[in-house]
Amino acid sequence: MEKVCSVSDVPEGTMRGFTVKLRYLLLVNLGGKFYAMDAVCPHMGGYLPIGKFENGIVTCPVHGSQYDVKTGKLVKDVPGFLKILTGGGSRDLNSYNVEVEDGSVFVKF
Ligand code: FES
């Protein structure tokens, strides 16, 4: 397990990006529970921590793909015309196990 941050660094209802062991990681606090996934959108590299986080869904700031933060699953892909223009759509994010201990958040890669 790799330490990512303190629990207080990501308040409830927010998300934040971290770099851990050369990985770009998105850490989300949803209702007091932490979820971790890749921070880079698989479509064309949008940086998800600067996107939108609402109702358990993260929206990519570049073309608007949406991901379920509990699973990393793609729930809304880019529109069809963008798939054609950009050579394809997005896919699920890798998600990682999270543990909280003594006020710190740890992630297992
Ligand atoms: S880069 Fe994220 S949807 Fe295109």
Residue 24: CATH number of its domain? 2.102.10.10
For a substitution probing ligand 1, which of 37, 50, 65 has the most ligand atoms within 8 Å of its CB? 65
Task: Please give the pLDDT value at position 51.
Answer: 98
**Confidence at residue 92, expressed as pLDDT on a 0 to 100 scale:** 98
- Is residue 31 predicted with pLDDT exceeding 90? yes
pLDDT computed for residue 33 by the predictor: 97
Find residue 5's DSSP bridge partners: 105
Report CA(35)–ligand 1 centroid distance (Å). 20
Distances (CA, A) of 1 to 26, 49, 57, 98, 108: 16, 22, 25, 9, 5
**pLDDT tens digits, 66-98:** 999 999 999 999 999 999 999 999 999 999 999
Question: How confident is the model at residue 109, as a pLDDT?
Answer: 87
- Give the global pTM: 0.95
Six-digit token string for 20: 């851990």
Domain that holds residue 102: 2-108
How many separate domains does the chain show? 1
Q: Find the radius of gyration of the CA atoms of the chain.
A: 14
* pLDDT for the residue 59: 98
